[in-house]
Structure 1
Amino acid sequence: MPQSIKIWPHRGRDLMIRWNRIYIDRPADVFEAAMAFWTAVTGTRLSEPHGEQGEFITLLPPHGDPCLHGQRVGGPGGAHLDLDVDDLAAARRRALDLGAVVLADRGHFSALRSPAGTAFCLTTGDGEHAPPPVPAPDGTLGRVDQVCLDIGAAGYDREVEFWAALTDWEVRPSARPEFDRLGVPDQLPIRILLQRKDTDEPAAAHPDAACADIEATAAWHESLGARRISRGAHWLVMHDPTGGVYCLTGRDPHTGRMPS
């Protein structure tokens, strides 16, 4: 972590982040299949489509407030993070001052790219209660509760600096040198992990699920059409039935932390 990182002080409630959410972005031709998988593994149901072209959908949990959504996109897809803020104009100015680029403004949200090219949105929605873990058919608990920002090596330190300054959240090093974590407040539903990639590939993002039993969860997901791609130290890299990347991790689905 470079010593030059500056953590901006809070400037009142105008920039307070009051909720966050993951958008699972999938191409139009496989969107319905992707959403069928994700509702099955998260125990949710789909809202009615919304947005100017019906491109957005919300995964509605049986308990708690929504923090998972889907977006029908024209490109290959992936995932992106939304931050719900008290003052959208002030948050947008702050992001631009830190090097972000605005892609679109839609009144109640702004779509941006970070300096390394990570897509994200600033929005005006909110929530209050994070959904609890959901059981698989065998009773194994799991919860999609993290977005991993995959950053090329050359832009990684600058990207960590950007997210720390934008959110005012502490950067916490991981036990593994390729990861850093933002200190997201406990009341928010989505953890944020940054991963330094070995190459300078374009920035991307993917969702992660905390699992009480990775192998049991992976077997269930495979029965629904997912595929294992590779194994990490305490995670499995998976493809959903439409080829979208996600990970199953050994973190506690209640707390989001690794077991001691």
Structure 2
Amino acid sequence: MTEPTSAEPSAEQPPTGGVGTLDTVVLDVPDLTAEADFWKALTSGTVSSESDDWITVVTPDRWGIGFQLAPDLVAPQWPGQEHPQQVHLDLYVPDLAAASARAVELGASVLRENEQWVTLADPAGHPFDVCLKEGTEGVTVMGATFDCPDASGLAGFWAQVLGVPVTYDADGVAMLGGSRPLLFQSVEGYNAPRWPDPAYPQQLHLDIEVPDLDAGEAAVLALGATRLPGEGSGFRVFADPAGHPFCLVR
């Protein structure tokens, strides 16, 4: 994980109006209750919806984190690309040691440590970073970071989908602004998901809320998305140009 700073070069891309808005970051998990309880406790969030195969936790800073039942999930084995993480969450914390210890107490495992952030895996094996930010109150969500072969290109796609600017683009890392930032990091030997093939799982996906599914589908396909199998009365499934699945929801 590389965190852009204001001292580093950036490139502004103006917002386009966007196709939709980021509604929920959704993790595939083999145990709904264990995973939701972990993230609820870590972020001091609350459960906003719950069913037999889905739980949504809303954090105090208004990020929706969803958990989708995937009993046969092939967990990532960070940092390699044989079973890649695909996407991870970055959290801001005021005290790195205390936040890391709390995460471990709740069931996380430490994968890597340095002075600015600690990489951990949650109970389902999904990596996430706790990043030092002095003065922040409690645990807040910095954003979601996508592994990809071309950070600049994928940031451009998502900037148009969400209608937010690219606020940083250099050295294989790009970042979108807005109230719910997305980050992109170029990864050597990137291994894309092949949803719905369980041997190449998605690990995590975004739900994008749109006012009209037909118009939303036409717009994301024109931007470079690919239609994937799977739909219901209120959602349709796509892949971004790097192969990450996402849903348009209404």
Structure 1 length normalisation: TM-score? 0.44
Higher relative contact order (CA 8 A, sep 6+): 2
Structure 2 length normalisation: TM-score? 0.45
